[in-house]
Chain A
């Protein structure tokens, strides 16, 4: 078991954003979390990361309880987050951004990790001396993923990686998710609004509504489920 959330509640001020969440991620899985705007997807991701901390319930990562652990400490234990909206460091160059991803990693791995990221995203190697803010949205997303991979995480959290990207990049991002999992054995928790694509790449999925998990199942099951089709696929973006 890589990650287990048991009855997790979280609050943003007075807003009760998560109401008893149970989510599990097994080693080597892609698990996706779908839901409408404001359902609590990003909150779930962030409370997993200790910001805000869960007000009730338990989060176990890799056999250890991380419910009360500091955010930066959680990152050091092997969870890497690709935040919503990419959040690269715009005034720093591409290579500096990648270096920031190694803030707590072993410097001996730096060369190998950079080479690995460049092999995965050749465009980043071409642009390594360029300021990250001058990259296109899709390139920035690749940089954000590359930066997260620099710390050799055990679990990769992707928060809406397809948000605001051109269709060609959306396809590429999902392809990358798939490759990371298949070729590098990366365990991935993927939050998405693009339910169709997300469920296609995922082994399992959860549907989140008003801070609660309303449906769970394999990707194929959820894709076929009438509730999911009605709420997220038909009439929405397919």
Chain B
């Protein structure tokens, strides 16, 4: 057989014609039964009819398509080779340019996310989905501290999300705490669990660490399912109070002695107000998270996380206390997950262990890995993709998870280091060649 499909070199026109001819021939063999012959109902009996015109058109299309495909592949390969030849000298320039593009992208994304609920103020679906995206962005940023920066593979991150959500749910339904009172306490609770998990596994690495964290995630979920007196078991906790806007509720009518949001501002009541408020709330929480993590990255503790990811032994040789570095990464990652959990509980108004399965951990981890470990902007892109793909996939019903998997495989094939794999140095050189530490701004 001469029709080797994946030729390594560029083809001459004659080779391309022959290649396309072979493909068309295979198409013909397959096409005769599939396209050329068809069954028709002839007066109650089944007859066979031929459709050679259609077959000829199909074969012609295959032939032309193959020629075009071959040509396009060769073109792409040539361009890539040319690029590789030209690139070596300008690697640093390109990295710098890429960073600028990412920065611009960041501002555009920020502008778009602020404008979104104004543009789609009547569209409940869009605002709801965007809120979900932002929850995942926040979770991704939290896990990014543990996995992306400190390099500790955590497969049970959802446990902290659950701790945050249940802390708020219980504090508010049992003790009447408000959202803003419960937020820091729940975050601290999640951080405590982070340290509880971190302490026994300080000496573990890689696969072993992953397995223990996976187990931890399941333990939390199973406790929530089985300890009925505490968590109401699989039935979950319902009628969790919604956050208020500086004491103004988002209800049609206020109880005695307080006011509603719409009443206070003289607006007509609309259920969208609450959704938009929740959207902006998670946006603010996510931006605070981003500012916090970006700042940490430039402080000694953030550098230490990155150094730990690169080489633990070298860290010890530099006099760093790896125990504290690991625990701080676990605690801060867990705290951010806890905050996201509080918001989740407040938004849903109902939580149950169903929401905190391993699949959630896997999705959050996928967001961090697909985004490019350690990249803040990459997390945003990946979270958007991973939430939107299944949403768009709704039309494909049962195939949507297949689509989801395919998209993940494709991303990893094209961008094995993640969507934005470039790491921005925390120290820049100014024109004089003197070094300065970039601090100050959050971005």
Please determine whether A129 and B311 come into contact, CB atoms closer than 8 angstroms. Answer: no
Partner of B425, one of A75, A90, A92, A103: A92
Q: Is B122 an interface residue (CB 8 A)?
A: no
Assembled-state Cα–Cα distance A9/B288 (Å): 52
0/1 string, A71-102, CB within 8 A of B gives 1: 11111100011110001111111011001110
Please determine whether A92 and B307 come into contact, CB atoms closer than 8 angstroms. Answer: yes
Q: Is A104 an interface residue (CB 8 A)?
A: yes
Q: Is B300 an interface residue (CB 8 A)?
A: yes
Interface size on B, residues (CB 8 A): 26
Please determine whether B429 and A103 come into contact, CB atoms closer than 8 angstroms. Answer: no
Q: How far is the CB of A217 from chain B (nearest CB, A)?
A: 29
Which of A92, A95, A100 is packed against the most chain B CB atoms within 10 Å?
A100
Q: How far is the CB of A107 from chain B (nearest CB, A)?
A: 10
Please determine whether A51 and B316 come into contact, CB atoms closer than 8 angstroms. Answer: yes
Please determine whether B435 and A95 come into contact, CB atoms closer than 8 angstroms. Answer: yes
Assembled-state Cα–Cα distance A85/B230 (Å): 53
Partner of A100, one of B303, B322, B423, B435: B303
Partner of A128, one of B311, B315, B429: B429
Known: A72-B321, A93-B425. A128 touches B306 (CB 8 A): no
Q: Is B196 an interface residue (CB 8 A)?
A: no
Partner of A104, one of B319, B322, B428, B433: B319
- The residues of A that contact B306 with a CB separation of less than 8 Å are 89, 91-92
Known: A72-B321, A72-B322. A87 touches B427 (CB 8 A): no
Please determine whether B321 and A70 come into contact, CB atoms closer than 8 angstroms. Answer: yes
- The residues of A that contact B319 with a CB separation of less than 8 Å are 72-76, 103-104, 151
Q: Is A49 an interface residue (CB 8 A)?
A: yes
Q: Is B318 an interface residue (CB 8 A)?
A: yes
- The residues of A that contact B303 with a CB separation of less than 8 Å are 96, 99-100
Assembled-state Cα–Cα distance A90/B311 (Å): 9
Please determine whether A101 and B92 come into contact, CB atoms closer than 8 angstroms. Answer: no
Assembled-state Cα–Cα distance A184/B319 (Å): 22
Q: How far is the CB of A31 from chain B (nearest CB, A)?
A: 19
- The residues of B that contact A81 with a CB separation of less than 8 Å are 317
Q: How far is the CB of B321 from chain A (nearest CB, A)?
A: 4
Q: Is B275 an interface residue (CB 8 A)?
A: no
Please determine whether B435 and A87 come into contact, CB atoms closer than 8 angstroms. Answer: no
Please determine whether B429 and A129 come into contact, CB atoms closer than 8 angstroms. Answer: yes
Q: Is B49 an interface residue (CB 8 A)?
A: no
Q: Is B314 an interface residue (CB 8 A)?
A: yes
- The residues of A that contact B316 with a CB separation of less than 8 Å are 49, 51, 71-72, 75
0/1 string, B306-330, CB within 8 A of A gives 1: 1100110111111111100000000
Assembled-state Cα–Cα distance A137/B39 (Å): 71
Q: Is A53 an interface residue (CB 8 A)?
A: no
Q: Is B121 an interface residue (CB 8 A)?
A: no
Q: Is B364 an interface residue (CB 8 A)?
A: no
Assembled-state Cα–Cα distance A101/B319 (Å): 8
Assembled-state Cα–Cα distance A114/B427 (Å): 14
Assembled-state Cα–Cα distance A81/B313 (Å): 10
Please determine whether A114 and B310 come into contact, CB atoms closer than 8 angstroms. Answer: no
Known: A92-B425, A129-B92, A129-B425. A100 touches B317 (CB 8 A): no
Q: Is B75 an interface residue (CB 8 A)?
A: no
Please determine whether A103 and B427 come into contact, CB atoms closer than 8 angstroms. Answer: no
Residue of A nearest to B306 (CB): A92
Assembled-state Cα–Cα distance A81/B433 (Å): 29
Assembled-state Cα–Cα distance A94/B307 (Å): 13
Partner of A130, one of B92, B426, B435: B92
Q: Is A4 an interface residue (CB 8 A)?
A: no
Please determine whether A103 and B314 come into contact, CB atoms closer than 8 angstroms. Answer: no
Please determine whether B318 and A88 come into contact, CB atoms closer than 8 angstroms. Answer: no
Q: Is B188 an interface residue (CB 8 A)?
A: no
Partner of A101, one of B318, B322, B433: B318
Assembled-state Cα–Cα distance A114/B435 (Å): 10
Q: Is A58 an interface residue (CB 8 A)?
A: no
Assembled-state Cα–Cα distance A104/B317 (Å): 11
Assembled-state Cα–Cα distance A151/B314 (Å): 14
- The residues of B that contact A104 with a CB separation of less than 8 Å are 318-320
Q: How far is the CB of B173 from chain A (nearest CB, A)?
A: 45
Assembled-state Cα–Cα distance A76/B319 (Å): 6
Q: How far is the CB of B34 from chain A (nearest CB, A)?
A: 52
Q: Is A147 an interface residue (CB 8 A)?
A: yes
Q: Is B304 an interface residue (CB 8 A)?
A: yes
Assembled-state Cα–Cα distance A95/B426 (Å): 10
- The residues of B that contact A96 with a CB separation of less than 8 Å are 303, 425-427
- The residues of B that contact A148 with a CB separation of less than 8 Å are 317
Assembled-state Cα–Cα distance A74/B320 (Å): 10
Assembled-state Cα–Cα distance A46/B300 (Å): 25
Assembled-state Cα–Cα distance A73/B318 (Å): 10
- The residues of A that contact B427 with a CB separation of less than 8 Å are 93, 95-96, 99
Please determine whether A151 and B435 come into contact, CB atoms closer than 8 angstroms. Answer: no
- The residues of A that contact B307 with a CB separation of less than 8 Å are 89, 92, 100
Residue of B nearest to A110 (CB): B435
Please determine whether B321 and A87 come into contact, CB atoms closer than 8 angstroms. Answer: no
Residue of A nearest to B324 (CB): A72
0/1 string, A138-158, CB within 8 A of B gives 1: 000000000110010000000
Residue of B nearest to A80 (CB): B317
Please determine whether B310 and A83 come into contact, CB atoms closer than 8 angstroms. Answer: no
- The residues of B that contact A87 with a CB separation of less than 8 Å are 311, 313-314, 317
19 contacts between A and B (CB under 8 A): A49-B317, A71-B316, A72-B319, A75-B317, A75-B319, A76-B319, A81-B317, A87-B317, A88-B311, A88-B314, A90-B310, A92-B307, A95-B427, A95-B435, A99-B427, A100-B303, A129-B428, A129-B429, A151-B318
Given contacts A75-B316, A93-B425, 9 further A-B pairs with CB under 8 A are: A49-B317, A51-B313, A72-B319, A81-B317, A83-B314, A89-B307, A92-B425, A100-B315, A148-B317
Closest 8 CB pairs of A and B: A75-B319, A89-B310, A81-B317, A87-B314, A104-B319, A72-B321, A71-B316, A76-B319
